[in-house]
């Protein structure tokens, strides 16, 4: 209703360039018999006029003149409320070779169908007429039939198509306010699917399209669908209705949603249930970073490791908090669930899942963690750079171990190395003599451990007991028979190994995204601040949380303060000085640089360049 003044002005403007009026030369100079029938009707002799028309039709079969007589006979019947008997005359006149007679017959037929209670059929009949211009009286009939049928119909799609053409070519409506109200009513009758189809079909900028765009935009805001928010708000912004207060407010809501609030970042973490220790560490790292950075505000939601809870939580962060980005979740399943909502809303999601397929969940999904393959690539690359070429893996025969065996084989081949068949052992094994002997029977001397640090503390001394030593730039012990080189991915390392097995791990290469004893100034600050605040040394996930928050904060400060701008900046390599190895993203939305690799030397790890 707020759009009536604008719509009326637009309609008056369009009326000046409407189509040529529907008119037949025969109507201006009819046969004498038809002129006589008209005179009888004008004098009130309806019965006499009917007889005159019928007589003419019978005596002039198959002629255009007979078609004119049928049309006028039908109109005479409809005027006195006898539409049922008039309809056959209109239906026959519709087939006239005279286009004007045929069009006028369709107009009156539609009006009669409406009078007889069939608004759907009436709309289908007049739909082809919407682009025509009749006499002022008949044009008013076309508008009235359209409006009344639209108020009664369930076929809102057809009605809106008729209105779309009428608004463009049908001149000013008799009652613009009523037209506005009917268009609004029709749009509310549509399903969302029908509305989306009409958005692409209707004439951009016209009243029906504006009404459809507003319905779609409201729905898109409710469902947090960024793609439709962009399309519909752009359509409204380009229309002549943008000054309408209702439209202006709706477009402002769209802009607010699309931009997000650059002062609020969401955290989606497992704080209860499975994975809660990882979630706690990540959150503590983020909170410490927020203190260092002084903002943005961190709003936290608990996924409990449940995909359905992750969906509800992320929708709350996006819809209620208007977060500009989301940090988390952790597991691949919760990431997939959250990504469906963040992708629809165009919100960047920095996931802490290490799964390689993480980024396939959506174009706004970033993998902040290194995958097992990333670590293996770094380890094999450093070994090859030292001239080492023959590789073998010792691994527990479970899911993780078998995955590492498969990936290691692939990475060794990609680096041009030689791969010896891996040696599996039962999970939980405590005596490794048999399995170490099997490894030493191969010709390969670069050994990857794919187990936790406690198991590595048992395996490394077993190699030494069998005469195979890992050393670091020094001579082999006198009793040693051969040299081996150990590779450790991050799950196989622990600071406790330095105390338990360091003499057996000298020279071992360790892929470690976060080294808790790093002497870098930022790392020292992070470690000291974390211990002061939480009373314990920070672990790897706390460091990841610290760097993830700082990366978002730094990118926002650089002026990338909308969701889209933030996503583009992160994809383009926006960076931060990190405490982990993770300083920026690649174009593939994965860590841009490999994890740090260290060498065990005495009681310390030394960075390998």
Q: Which residue has the tokens 């990475």?
A: 411
Query: Which H, E and C letters describe 523-541, residue by residue?
Result: HHHHHHHHHHHHCCCCCHH
Determine the pLDDT at residue 403.
Answer: 97
Q: Which fold has domain 260-369+521-590?
A: Rossmann fold (3.40.50)
- What is the per-residue DSSP string for 534-592? HSS---HHHHHHHHHHHHHHHHHHTT--SHHHHHHHHHTT-----SSS---B-TTSSBS
- What is the per-residue DSSP string for 237-303? HTSTTTTSHHHHHHHHHHHHHHH-BTTEEEEEE--SSTTHHHHHHHHHHHHHHHHHHT-SEEEEEE-
Q: Which residues pair with 606 in a beta bridge?
A: 599
Rg (CA), the chain: 39
Domain ranges, ordered by start, for the chain: 4-206+235-241, 260-369+521-590, 372-511
Determine the pLDDT at residue 498.
Answer: 83
Determine the pLDDT at residue 301.
Answer: 97
Predicted confidence (pLDDT) per residue in 57-108, tens digit: 999 999 999 999 999 999 999 999 999 999 999 999 999 999 999 999 999 9
- Report the C-alpha gap between 288 and 261 in whole angstroms: 21
Predicted confidence (pLDDT) per residue in 473-495, tens digit: 778 988 899 999 999 999 999 98
Determine the pLDDT at residue 21.
Answer: 82
Residue 223 burial (C-beta neighbours within 10 Å; 0-12, 13-18, 19+): middle
Determine the pLDDT at residue 18.
Answer: 53
Q: Other C-beta atoms within 10 Å of 528: how many? A: 11
Q: Which CATH architecture has domain 372-511?
A: 3-Layer(aba) Sandwich (3.40)
CATH superfamily of 4-206+235-241: Tetratricopeptide repeat domain (1.25.40.10)
Cα 303 to Cα 166, 278, 327, 338, distances in angstroms: 53, 12, 12, 10
3-state secondary structure of 456: helix
Determine the pLDDT at residue 475.
Answer: 85
- Cβ atoms 449, 392 nearer than 8 A: no
- Report the C-alpha gap between 436 and 439 in whole angstroms: 5
**Closest-CA residue to 488 (of 604, 353, 372):** 372
Determine the pLDDT at residue 125.
Answer: 97
| Residue 333, H or E segment | helix 332-345
List the chain residues with pLDDT less than 70: 1-19
- Cβ atoms 422, 485 nearer than 8 A: no
Q: Which residue has the tokens 């960075």?
A: 607
**Closest-CA residue to 545 (of 262, 270, 263):** 270
Determine the pLDDT at residue 13.
Answer: 39
Q: Do the first three CATH levels of 260-369+521-590 and 372-511 match, i.e. the same topology?
A: yes
């Amino acid at each position: 209703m707020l759009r009536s003044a604008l719509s009326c002005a637009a309609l008056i403007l369009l009326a000046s360039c409407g189509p040529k009026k529907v008119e037949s030369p025969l109507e201006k100079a009819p046969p004498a018999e038809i002129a006589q029938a008209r005179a009888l009707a004008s004098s009130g002799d309806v019965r006499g006029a009917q007889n005159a028309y019928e007589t003419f039709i019978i005596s002039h079969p198959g002629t255009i003149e007979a078609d004119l007589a049928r049309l006028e006979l039908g109109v005479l019947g409809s005027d006195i409320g006898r539409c049922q008997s008039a309809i056959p005359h209109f239906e026959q006149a519709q087939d006239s070779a005279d286009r004007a007679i045929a069009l006028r017959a369709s107009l009156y037929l539609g009006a009669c169908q409406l009078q007889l209670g069939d608004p759907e059929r009436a709309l289908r009949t007049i739909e082809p007429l919407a682009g025509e211009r009749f006499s002022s009286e008949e044009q008013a009939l076309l508008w009235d039939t359209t409006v009344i049928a639209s108020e009664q119909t369930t076929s809102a799609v057809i009605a809106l198509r008729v209105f779309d053409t009428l608004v463009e070519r049908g001149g000013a409506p008799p009652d613009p306010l009523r037209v506005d109200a009917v268009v609004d009513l029709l749009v509310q009758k549509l399903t969302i699917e029908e509305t989306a189809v009409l958005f692409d079909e209707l004439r951009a900028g016209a009243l029906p399209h504006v009404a459809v765009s507003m319905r779609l935009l409201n729905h898109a805001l409710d469902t947090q669908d960024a793609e439709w928010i962009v399309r519909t708000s752009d359509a409204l912004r380009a229309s002549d209705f943008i000054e309408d207060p209702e439209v202006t407010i709706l477009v402002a809501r769209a802009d607010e949603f699309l931009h997000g609030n650059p002062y609020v970042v969401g955290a989606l973490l497992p704080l209860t249930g499975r994975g809660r220790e990882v979630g706690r560490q990540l959150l503590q790292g983020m909170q410490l970073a927020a203190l260092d950075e002084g903002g943005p505000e961190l709003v936290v939601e608990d996924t409990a490791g449940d995909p359905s809870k992750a969906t509800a939580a992320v929708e709350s962060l996006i819809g209620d908090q208007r977060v500009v980005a989301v940090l988390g979740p952790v597991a691949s399943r919760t990431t997939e669930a959250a990504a469906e909502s963040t992708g629809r809303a165009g919100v960047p999601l920095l996931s802490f899942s290490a799964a390689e397929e993480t980024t396939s969940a959506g174009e706004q999904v970033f993998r902040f963690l290194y995958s097992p393959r990333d670590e293996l690539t770094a380890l094999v690359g450093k070994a090859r750079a030292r001239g080492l070429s023959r590789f073998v893996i010792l691994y527990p025969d479970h899911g993780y171990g078998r995955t590492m065996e498969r990936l290691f084989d692939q990475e060794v081949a990609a680096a041009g190395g030689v791969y010896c068949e891996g040696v599996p052992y039962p999970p939980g094994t405590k005596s490794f003599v048999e399995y170490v002997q099997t490894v030493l029977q191969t010709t390969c001397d670069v050994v990857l451990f794919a187990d936790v640090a406690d198991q590595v503390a048992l395996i490394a001394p077993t190699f030494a007991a069998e005469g195979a030593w890992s050393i670091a730039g020094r001579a082999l012990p006198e009793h040693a028979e051969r040299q081996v080189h150990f590779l450790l991915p991050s799950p196989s390392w622990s600071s406790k190994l330095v105390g338990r097995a360091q003499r057996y791990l000298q020279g071992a290469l360790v892929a470690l995204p976060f080294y808790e004893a790093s002497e870098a100034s930022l790392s020292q600050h992070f470690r000291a601040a974390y211990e002061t605040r939480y009373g314990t040394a920070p672990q790897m996930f706390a460091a990841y949380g610290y760097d993830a928050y700082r990366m978002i904060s730094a990118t926002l400060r650089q002026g990338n303060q909308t969701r889209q701008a933030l996503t583009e900046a992160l994809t383009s390599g926006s960076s931060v000085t990190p405490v982990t190895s993770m300083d920026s993203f690649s174009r593939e939305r994965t860590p841009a640089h490999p994890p740090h690799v260290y060498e065990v030397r005495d009681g310390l790890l030394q960075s390998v360049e």
